[in-house]
Amino acid sequence: MKKVIRSICNIILVLGILLPTFMSPFVLDVDAADNRTIKSILADIEKQKKELQENKNKQKLTNEQILTIKNNISLISNEITKGQNEIIEINNQIAILENQIEEKDAEMKKVINFLQLSDGESQYLEYIFGATSFTDFIYRVAITEQLTNYNNRLIKEYNELIESNKKHQADIKKKEEELTVKQANLQKEVSKLQYQVTQLGNEQGSLEEGILKSEASVRALIADGCDENETVDACYTRLKTLPSDTSFWRPLFSASITSVWGSRRYWYNGNWVESYHYGLDLGTPERTKVYSVANGTVGDRAYWSGTGYVLYVYHKVNGVKYTSVYEHLCANCYAVSKGQNVTKDTVIAYSGNTGQSTGPHLHLGMLYGWAGIEYSYWDATYYAKLFDPRTVINFPSGYGSFNTRTRNCSLGSC
């Protein structure tokens, strides 16, 4: 039992060290004046997630210790019950001995009555002197003395046993009282630990809520066009100055349409290739200036084996989000950087013949929403968001040519 109590004390000591170190929940609070970068905010979110995991670990440890203490409380209860049963057994033994003492006492009274004097004559003497010989006389004296001593010895032994049992009973009672106190103290510790688990659970909820809010805030910032190395206040300032637009322009001053939206079959590397064309190909010499199709913010610049060098620009036209995609650009011929605001008159890159291309041209793609921010590149959602550029930009029909950057007047006045 000492080992049990010592182990419980160790547990309480450990928890006393751990539990005061609870971290207060961190909730991301982003406003337009925040001078942190998106990258630093993401780092704060990662710290928050670590705190959440530490919180869960502490809850697990505390619950395990509560279970251990409860098991030990159960052991103490068993000890108390055992002691109570021993007390009952001792009381039964005392009652039996007291009955035996009463019986012996009655027998002794009969002996005394037999031995006491009556009518002025001693029956004791009569019994002794009734001996027929000296030997018989000695025998009768010894028998009477032995009988008396035997009864006196029995009564003394019984009384000693009763005193021993009573002492044993008192010891058990004292032990029972001590265990009861320890049991009550341990139950208090359990209540304290359960309260701390509840507090941890509440903090876990706050942490989880904070993480969700933080991640939602960051997603919203990125969706609005903020770069991870850009501060929040700088991003909001830039977005406020983003020039509005009502419709789209052609990305080139002149070109010939060489491939339209839809199924097609073309010769590539000595083979006929069957595919679906998700855009509009505009034949033009390499290093031709490419313009943004509307006011917007530059997104990622990348190289893909199929598209070659590619550039993404995010737009809000008439309140609707779009992404324009410029593919097969010349190698590293970007004229703008990521996060830069552009207008329809900004040269953003130069045409080329990179990637899976059959000749110098610009592939123009258009998507609803902001690709790479609201959804991933080149997955099922990406392809579902693509649409024919001709639905929003004024291009000649069929495979015609053009030599002006006419605005698409069908979406509003020019």
Please tell me which of 207-211, 235-239, 280-284, 409-413 the model is most confident about, judged by mean pLDDT: 280-284
| Phi-psi domain of 374 (left: phi exceeds 0; alpha: psi -120 through 50; beta: other) | alpha
Please tell me which of 6-10, 34-38, 287-291, 339-343 the model is most confident about, judged by mean pLDDT: 287-291
Query: Would you give the DSSP letter of residue 376?
Result: -
Type of residue numbered 360: P
Three-state DSSP class for residue 175? helix
- The string over 352-377, giving b where at least 16 C-beta atoms fall within 10 Å of a residue's C-beta and e elsewhere, is bbbbbbeebbbbbbbbebbbbbbbee
Is residue 37 within 8 A of residue 43, CB to CB? The reply is no
Q: Is 69 exposed, middle or buried (0-12, 13-18, 19+ CB in 10 A)?
A: buried
Q: In which element (H, E) is residue 8 found?
A: helix 2-18
51-79 mean pLDDT: 80
Q: Please tell me the pTM assigned to this model.
A: 0.49
What are the distances in angstroms from CA 307 to CA 107, 281, 390?
120, 12, 20
- Supply the pLDDT for residue 294: 94
Residue for token pair 């000749």? 359
The confidence band for 113, taking pLDDT boundaries of 50, 70 and 90, is low
Dist CA 246 CA 294 (whole Å): 9
Q: Where are the alpha helices (DSSP H) in 116-133?
A: 123-129
Is residue 143 within 8 A of residue 51, CB to CB? The reply is no
Residue 21 has pLDDT above 50, yes or no: no
Three-state DSSP class for residue 136? helix
Dist CA 111 CA 127 (whole Å): 13
User: What domains lie within the chain, and their CATH numbers?
Assistant: 2-223 (1.10.287), 255-411 (2.70.70.10)
Residue 19 has pLDDT above 60, yes or no: no
Is residue 326 within 8 A of residue 299, CB to CB? The reply is no
Residue 114 has pLDDT above 60, yes or no: no
Please tell me which of 34-38, 225-229, 375-379 the model is most confident about, judged by mean pLDDT: 375-379
Q: SS3 for 46-66, per residue?
A: HHHHHHHHHHHHHHHHHHHHH
Please tell me which of 15-29, 115-129, 131-145, 236-250 the model is most confident about, judged by mean pLDDT: 236-250
Dist CA 66 CA 194 (whole Å): 8
pLDDT one-digit tens code per residue, 208-266: 777 777 777 777 777 666 777 878 777 777 666 666 688 899 999 999 999 999 998 87
| Nearby residues of 144 by Cβ (< 8 Å), 6 or more positions away | 115, 124, 127, 128
Is residue 35 within 8 A of residue 169, CB to CB? The reply is no
270-282 mean pLDDT: 90
